[in-house]
């Protein structure tokens, strides 16, 4: 079995790993030089010639100097074969690796060099036979590759190139090819069918070679013979791979150097010998130059002989080269042998740069392209069924998507039309409302809130600009559809409701204390206050909400709103109660004013010389009464942040109250007054009043009374505002609940319903609600401010007159 040839380690220097088809393509390698010494031939034996050389080991040959005439010297080579070595051994150790490199795309050259009759032809025949045998064995064992062998043969006879396979072609020219180097024109290249065919062709070459008889050799080769075996190989299965290995194996049998004195040549032989020696001299020069520094050392005279031109790649070029130097052991040829060994010594220093040669075979390329064309044509004629079905399903999917989008577009168009019609109705309603506003708003109409999709009559332009801003903020906060936010809003409203009740109760209790402590008013007044207290407490009871109810999540929103709806009457009744309180205050004021005019009251007042509110309690009163809207009040802070539902700022009373400091309500302007009042609290009043400046005190108490009454009135007004706000926010929540229900229904019946139109419609509805509610509150504020004004002014004037 023949494997891929391996280069002996001793031969590889500065050589990177070589992998055909991969890795480094170039490997530097010295020429493999071996020496084969033949036995003494019959002629030498007949002459009793002596053996002058001794192969001391496989690498060393030593001149034995039998006559001791010259100093013994030794030569070392890659391999030295003694006369007993077989040609197979010479092939195995000195040529096989290089020869089989041609199977892996590396050029290889094996040639024999030596004097005439040294055994070159004998050795090269054996090498060629073994190489052919191994090559075909390798091909046999490498079925994955397809090998193509071609044989060409030439001889250089008297410096002319002759085709050994076609002698009739005459002298062949040498051409220089930029890629291939020197090529022989019109050299026949025979495709080798098999090993036998190869042997046959080689036999033809042998037969065609110039051979002549000389004094030293009966069949002396008179020419240099070059048998060139071109090996191309490619992978069989990989049709995509169009590259192939291509290499040449040169088997060169040189003509032997000869001495005319020894060969006794004349005439033709002398001429032949002259040409032989000249070409061999050129070869020696080339080898010597290559060995002494390579191509860098200067000009290499390849072109000085056809032999060196043809073998240029093998001498320091792209090839692996093995030189077998044949020598005669005879003492009579010692000088020729020394020359051969000197040549061999130089040759072993020559470095070649072999690389794997890969080509793209035209034939393979055409074949590959034809296959590809046929495959594509077949694919075009019969498209794959899987791709067709895939395309069909894709088409259906797209069709469905288009239909779905069309449906969505229809739905959007429908919603757009609805929104347009609603907007149109709203515009009309605004126009109608504008007309109504010009004639004067109807309190009945504006107090009605609309929370459905119907257009709402009401003019946003009729309300104060600042208030619109406040309500738009409120609307934004309450239009959130987040259930948890809505529930949170409900809770805040309920908390404020409780606060209102508590504050009202506190205020009325203080008022009751003030009145009862000074025994102010008559029985009716006391009853009125008691009624007020009862009503406030009743109000608290109505608005009280269990505090342990936690703020629910979105799932509880519905329950929360249901509960809030059920409290609608509660808020309405709360509003009524507040109105009752307002009335009670009015009654109280009127009763006080009436009481002032009764003789009993005048007498009582004269006796006691006191006024309805003491300075001390007046301070407490104002603190308590002002608490809900005082800057220091926590509830006031909440209202500022969250509600902004204040009385219109053009309300004179509220405005003045909010800008006054608590100290401004202390009526006494002097320290004397304060001392008098203070001393009056701890001593009998009848004694103290004699020393008081009655007029001053009257003005002082009149002012105090005015402030307290203003505070009460403003506070009740504020309570009404808040109740109205609660009503408004409750209605907003109910509205949101309805909107949520509608949205859910839309989502259920049409999951792909676009949200943009829904949100726009909802936004427009809420805007209408906000407008109506604002208008209602504005009217309420105006009503409240006007309702108590007359009575209070009258009461104040009466107090001052009384004082
Ligand atoms: N190693 C060897 N063992 C036995 N006989 C050999 C050996 N080498 C050569 N001979 C014999 O020596 C004779 C000359 O050999 P060969 O023709 O091969 O020499 P050559 O170098 O080719 O000579 P030339 O250069 O003249 O052609 C032949 O008869 C051959 O059989």
Least confident of 267-276, 305-314, 432-441, 634-643: 634-643
* Whole-number pLDDT of residue 524: 61
Least confident of 172-181, 568-577, 605-614, 721-730: 605-614
Total Cβ atoms within 10 A of residue 88: 14
Q: Which atom of ligand 1 is nearest to the CA of 85?
A: 1
**HEC per residue, 144-166:** CEEEEEEEEEEEEECCEEEECCC
- 496-555: per-residue pLDDT in tens? 767 776 776 776 676 666 555 544 445 666 676 667 667 656 655 554 444 444 444 444
- Could you tell me the two tokens for 283? 């070869």
468 falls in which pLDDT band (50, 70, 90)?
A: very low
Q: Are residues 246 and 304 in the same domain?
A: yes
Q: Name the residue at shortest CA distance from atom 9 of ligand 1.
A: 119
- Decide if 15 is inside a domain: no
Cβ atoms of residues 256 and 223 within 8 Å:
no
> With 50 as the cut, is the pLDDT of residue 697 above it?
yes
Q: Which atom of ligand 1 is nearest to the CA of 211?
A: 27
- Could you tell me the two tokens for 577? 């109660």
- Decide if 377 is inside a domain: no
Using most ligand atoms within 8 A of CB, pick from 44, 118, 122 the residue to mutate for ligand 1.
122
* Whole-number pLDDT of residue 447: 37
C-alpha dihedral over 288, 294, 295, 298, to 10 degrees? -60
Distance 169 CA to ligand 1 centre (A): 30
**For the ranges 177-186, 302-311, 739-748, the one whose mean pLDDT is highest:** 302-311
Q: Which atom of ligand 1 is nearest to the CA of 220?
A: 26
3-state SS, residue 227: strand
Share of the chain above pLDDT 90, in %: 22
Q: Which atom of ligand 1 is nearest to the CA of 216?
A: 26
Q: Are residues 316 and 423 in the same domain?
A: no
Q: Are residues 300 and 426 in the same domain?
A: no
* Whole-number pLDDT of residue 61: 94
- Could you tell me the two tokens for 486? 């809505």
Distance 279 CA to ligand 1 centre (A): 21
Q: Name the residue at shortest CA distance from atom 26 of ligand 1.
A: 220
**For the ranges 414-418, 440-444, 472-476, 792-796, the one whose mean pLDDT is highest:** 414-418
Using most ligand atoms within 8 A of CB, pick from 82, 117, 260, 328 the residue to mutate for ligand 1.
117
Taking alpha carbons only, the member of 344, 129, 148 closest to residue 227 is 129
Query: Could you give the residue ranges of the DSSP H alpha helices within 598-693?
Result: 599-608, 615-626, 634-638, 652-659, 671-682, 685-688
Q: Which atom of ligand 1 is nearest to the CA of 87?
A: 1
Q: Angle at Cα 93 formed by Cα 87 and Cα 99, nearest 5°?
A: 90
Question: What does DSSP say about strands 60-63 and 74-76: parallel, antiparallel, or unpaired?
Answer: antiparallel
- Decide if 182 is inside a domain: yes
- How high is the mean pLDDT of the chain? 69
3-state SS, residue 552: coil
Distance 619 CA to ligand 1 centre (A): 148
Q: Name the residue at shortest CA distance from atom 15 of ligand 1.
A: 119
Mean pLDDT of 403-412: 90
Cα separation, 799 vs 535, in Å, equals 27
> With 70 as the cut, is the pLDDT of residue 753 above it?
no
Distance 615 CA to ligand 1 centre (A): 154
Q: Angle at Cα 442 formed by Cα 439 and Cα 447, nearest 5°?
A: 145
Q: Name the residue at shortest CA distance from atom 2 of ligand 1.
A: 38
Q: Are residues 356 and 427 in the same domain?
A: no
114 annotated among ligand-binding-site residues: yes
Q: Name the residue at shortest CA distance from atom 8 of ligand 1.
A: 119
Distance 216 CA to ligand 1 centre (A): 10
Q: Are residues 355 and 463 in the same domain?
A: no
Distance 46 CA to ligand 1 centre (A): 16
* Whole-number pLDDT of residue 620: 39
3-state SS, residue 48: coil
Phi-psi region of 13 (alpha: psi -120 to 50; beta: other; left: phi over 0): beta
Distance 462 CA to ligand 1 centre (A): 134
112 HSE (CA, 13 A, CB side)? 33
- Decide if 705 is inside a domain: yes
Distance 254 CA to ligand 1 centre (A): 12
Domain ends where: 365, 385, 405? 365
121 annotated among ligand-binding-site residues: yes
117 annotated among ligand-binding-site residues: yes
* Whole-number pLDDT of residue 507: 65
Between 261 and 405, the higher pLDDT residue: 405
Q: Are residues 425 and 352 in the same domain?
A: no
Residues with CB under 6 A from ligand 1: 38-39, 41, 114, 116-122, 217, 219-221, 255-256, 326
Q: Are residues 455 and 345 in the same domain?
A: no
Distance 396 CA to ligand 1 centre (A): 88
309 falls in which pLDDT band (50, 70, 90)?
A: very high
Q: Name the residue at shortest CA distance from atom 12 of ligand 1.
A: 119
> With 70 as the cut, is the pLDDT of residue 720 above it?
yes
Mean pLDDT of 333-351: 91
Q: Which atom of ligand 1 is nearest to the CA of 221?
A: 27
Least confident of 150-154, 322-326, 693-697: 693-697
Q: Which atom of ligand 1 is nearest to the CA of 326?
A: 21
- 151-209: per-residue pLDDT in tens? 999 999 889 999 999 988 889 999 988 877 888 999 999 999 988 999 999 999 988 88
- Decide if 676 is inside a domain: yes
Q: What is the number of domains present in the chain?
A: 2
What string of DSSP letters covers 297-364?
Answer: GS---GGGSHHHHHTGGGTTSSSEEEEEEEE--BGGGHHHHHHHHHHHHHHTT-EEEEE--EEE-HHH
- 46-68: per-residue pLDDT in tens? 888 888 899 999 999 998 876 66
Q: Are residues 360 and 419 in the same domain?
A: no
378 falls in which pLDDT band (50, 70, 90)?
A: confident
> With 60 as the cut, is the pLDDT of residue 609 above it?
no
| ipTM of this complex prediction, to 2 decimal places | 0.98
Distance 244 CA to ligand 1 centre (A): 39
Cα separation, 581 vs 718, in Å, equals 12
132 falls in which pLDDT band (50, 70, 90)?
A: very high
Q: Which residues contact 39 (CB under 8 A, 6 or more apart)?
A: 83, 84, 329
Distance 114 CA to ligand 1 centre (A): 10
Cβ atoms of residues 113 and 94 within 8 Å:
no
Which domain range does residue 651 map to? 415-802
Using most ligand atoms within 8 A of CB, pick from 113, 125, 217, 276 the residue to mutate for ligand 1.
217
Q: Which atom of ligand 1 is nearest to the CA of 114?
A: 21
Taking alpha carbons only, the member of 31, 38, 49 closest to residue 326 is 38
Q: Are residues 430 and 359 in the same domain?
A: no
611 falls in which pLDDT band (50, 70, 90)?
A: very low
Q: Are residues 319 and 436 in the same domain?
A: no
**For the ranges 194-203, 295-304, 480-489, 647-656, the one whose mean pLDDT is highest:** 194-203
282 annotated among ligand-binding-site residues: no
* Whole-number pLDDT of residue 113: 93
Q: Are residues 448 and 557 in the same domain?
A: yes
Q: Which atom of ligand 1 is nearest to the CA of 116?
A: 25
Least confident of 37-46, 53-62, 409-418, 659-668: 659-668
- Decide if 410 is inside a domain: no
**For the ranges 76-85, 242-251, 417-426, the one whose mean pLDDT is highest:** 76-85
**HEC per residue, 411-480:** HHHHHHHHHHHHHHHHHHHHHHHHHHHHHCCCHHHHCCCCCCCCCCCCCHHHCCHHHHHHHHHHHHHHCC
Q: Name the residue at shortest CA distance from atom 3 of ligand 1.
A: 38
Least confident of 98-107, 522-531, 553-562: 553-562
Q: Name the residue at shortest CA distance from atom 16 of ligand 1.
A: 119
Query: Could you give the residue ranges of the DSSP H alpha helices within 479-522?
Result: 483-517
| Backbone φ, ψ for residue 74 (5° rounding) | -130, 155
Taking alpha carbons only, the member of 413, 447, 671 closest to residue 572 is 447
Between 286 and 725, the higher pLDDT residue: 286
* Whole-number pLDDT of residue 484: 65
Distance 101 CA to ligand 1 centre (A): 27
Using most ligand atoms within 8 A of CB, pick from 35, 113, 121, 221 the residue to mutate for ligand 1.
121
630 annotated among ligand-binding-site residues: no
Q: Are residues 354 and 434 in the same domain?
A: no
Q: Give the domain CATH number at 338.
A: 3.40.850.10
> With 70 as the cut, is the pLDDT of residue 779 above it?
no
Mean pLDDT of 76-92: 94
Kind and range of the H or E element at 797? helix 789-802
Cα separation, 618 vs 600, in Å, equals 25
Cα separation, 102 vs 231, in Å, equals 6
Mean pLDDT of 667-689: 39
Q: What share of the chain is helix, strand, coil (3-state, %, to 5)?
A: 60, 15, 25
Distance 61 CA to ligand 1 centre (A): 20
Distance 262 CA to ligand 1 centre (A): 16
Kind and range of the H or E element at 226? strand 224-235
Q: How far is CA 528 from the centre of its chain?
A: 79
* Whole-number pLDDT of residue 75: 92
- 362-373: per-residue pLDDT in tens? 777 787 788 888
> With 60 as the cut, is the pLDDT of residue 416 above it?
yes
Q: Which atom of ligand 1 is nearest to the CA of 38?
A: 1
> With 70 as the cut, is the pLDDT of residue 123 above it?
yes
Taking alpha carbons only, the member of 358, 361, 283, 270 closest to residue 316 is 283
Q: Angle at Cα 732 formed by Cα 729 and Cα 734, nearest 5°?
A: 115
Phi-psi region of 227 (alpha: psi -120 to 50; beta: other; left: phi over 0): beta
- Decide if 371 is inside a domain: no
End-to-end CA distance of the chain: 144
Q: Which atom of ligand 1 is nearest to the CA of 253?
A: 22
665 falls in which pLDDT band (50, 70, 90)?
A: very low
- 220-260: per-residue pLDDT in tens? 888 899 999 999 988 877 656 667 889 999 999 998 887 76
Q: Which residues contact 696 (CB under 8 A, 6 or more apart)?
A: 673
Using most ligand atoms within 8 A of CB, pick from 119, 256, 333, 337 the residue to mutate for ligand 1.
119
- Decide if 5 is inside a domain: no
482 falls in which pLDDT band (50, 70, 90)?
A: low
* Whole-number pLDDT of residue 641: 37
* Residue 585: exposure state from Cβ atoms within 10 A (0-12, 13-18, ≥19): buried
Q: Angle at Cα 775 formed by Cα 770 and Cα 780, nearest 5°?
A: 125
* Whole-number pLDDT of residue 444: 39
120 annotated among ligand-binding-site residues: yes
> With 50 as the cut, is the pLDDT of residue 22 above it?
no
């Amino acid at each position: 079995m023949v494997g891929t040839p391996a280069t002996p380690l001793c031969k590889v220097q500065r050589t990177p790993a070589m992998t055909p088809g991969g890795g480094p393509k170039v490997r530097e390698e010295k020429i493999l030089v071996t020496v084969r010494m033949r036995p003494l031939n019959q002629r030498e034996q007949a002459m009793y010639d002596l053996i002058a050389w001794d192969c001391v080991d496989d690498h060393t040959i030593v001149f034995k100097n039998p006559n001791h005439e010259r100093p013994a010297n030794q030569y070392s080579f890659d391999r030295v074969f003694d006369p007993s070595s077989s040609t197979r051994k010479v092939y195995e150790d000195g040529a096989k690796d290089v020869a089989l490199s041609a199977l892996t795309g590396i050029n290889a050259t094996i040639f024999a060099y030596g004097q005439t009759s040294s055994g070159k032809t004998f050795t090269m025949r054996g090498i060629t036979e073994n190489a052919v045998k191994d090559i075909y064995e390798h091909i046999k064992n490498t079925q994955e590759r397809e090998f193509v062998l071609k044989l060409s043969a030439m001889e250089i006879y008297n410096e002319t190139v002759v085709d050994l396979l076609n002698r009739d072609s005459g002298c062949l020219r040498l051409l220089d090819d930029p890629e291939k180097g020197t090529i022989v024109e019109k050299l026949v290249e025979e495709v080798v069918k098999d090993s036998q065919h190869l042997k046959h062709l080689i036999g033809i070459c042998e037969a065609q070679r110039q051979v002549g008889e000389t004094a030293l050799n009966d069949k002396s080769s008179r020419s240099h013979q070059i048998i060139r075996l071109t090996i191309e190989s490619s992978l069989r299965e990989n049709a995509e791979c169009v590259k192939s290995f291509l290499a040449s194996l040169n088997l060169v049998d040189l003509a032997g150097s000869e001495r005319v004195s020894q060969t006794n040549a004349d005439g033709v032989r002398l001429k032949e010998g002259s040409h032989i020696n000249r070409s061999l001299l050129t070869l020696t020069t080339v080898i010597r130059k290559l060995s002494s520094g390579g191509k860098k050392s200067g000009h290499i005279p390849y072109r000085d002989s056809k032999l060196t031109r043809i073998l240029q790649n093998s001498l320091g070029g792209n090839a692996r080269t093995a030189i077998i130097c044949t020598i005669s052991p005879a003492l009579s040829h010692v000088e020729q042998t020394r020359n051969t060994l000197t040549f061999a010594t130089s040759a072993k220093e020559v470095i070649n740069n072999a690389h794997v040669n890969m080509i793209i075979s035209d034939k393979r390329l055409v074949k590959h392209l034809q296959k590809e064309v046929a495959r594509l044509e077949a694919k075009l004629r019969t498209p794959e069924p899987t791709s067709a079905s895939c395309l069909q399903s894709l088409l259906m999917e797209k069709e469905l998507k288009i239909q779905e989008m069309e449906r969505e577009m229809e739905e959007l168009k429908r919603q757009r039309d609805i929104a347009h019609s609603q907007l149109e109705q709203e515009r009309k309603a605004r126009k109608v409302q504008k007309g109504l506003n010009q004639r004067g708003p109807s309190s009945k109409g504006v107090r009605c809130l609309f929370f459905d999709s119907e257009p709402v009559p009401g003019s946003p332009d009729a309300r104060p600009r600042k208030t619109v801003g406040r309500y738009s903020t409120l609307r934004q906060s309450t239009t959130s559809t987040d259930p948890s936010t809505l529930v949170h809003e409900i809770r805040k409203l309920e908390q404020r409701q409780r606060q209102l009740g508590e504050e009202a109760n506190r205020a009325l209790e203080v008022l009751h204390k003030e009145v009862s402590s000074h025994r102010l008013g008559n029985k009716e007044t006391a009853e009125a206050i008691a009624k007020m207290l009862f009503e406030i407490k009743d109000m608290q009871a109505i608005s009280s909400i269990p505090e342990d109810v936690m703020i629910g999540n979105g799932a509880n929103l519905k329950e929360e709103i249901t509960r809030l709806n059920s409290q609608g009457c509660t808020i309405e009744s709360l509003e009524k109660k507040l109105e009752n309180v307002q009335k009670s205050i009015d009654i109280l004021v009127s009763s006080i004013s009436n009481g002032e005019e009764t003789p009993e009251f005048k007498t009582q007042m004269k006796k006691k010389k006191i006024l309805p509110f003491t300075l001390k309690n007046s301070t407490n009163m104002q603190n308590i009464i002002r608490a809900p809207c005082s800057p220091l009040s926590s509830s006031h802070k909440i209202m500022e942040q969250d509600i902004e539902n204040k009385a219109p700022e053009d309300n004179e009373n509220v405005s003045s109250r909010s800008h006054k400091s608590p100290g401004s309500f202390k009526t006494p302007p002097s320290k004397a007054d304060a001392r008098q009042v203070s001393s009056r609290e701890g001593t009998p009043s009848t004694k103290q009043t004699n020393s008081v400046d009655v007029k001053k005190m009257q003005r002082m108490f009149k002012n105090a009374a005015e402030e307290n009454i203003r505070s009460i009135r403003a506070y009740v007004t504020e309570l009404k505002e808040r109740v109205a706000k609660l009503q408004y926010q409750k209605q907003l929540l109910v509205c949101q609940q309805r909107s949520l229900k509608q949205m859910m229904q839309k989502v259920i019946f049409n999951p792909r319903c676009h949200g943009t139109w829904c949100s726009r419609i909802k936004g427009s509805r809420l805007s209408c609600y906000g407008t109506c509610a604002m208008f209602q509150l504005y009217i309420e504020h105006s009503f409240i401010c006007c309702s108590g004004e007359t009575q209070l002014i009258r009461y104040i004037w009466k107090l001052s007159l009384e004082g």
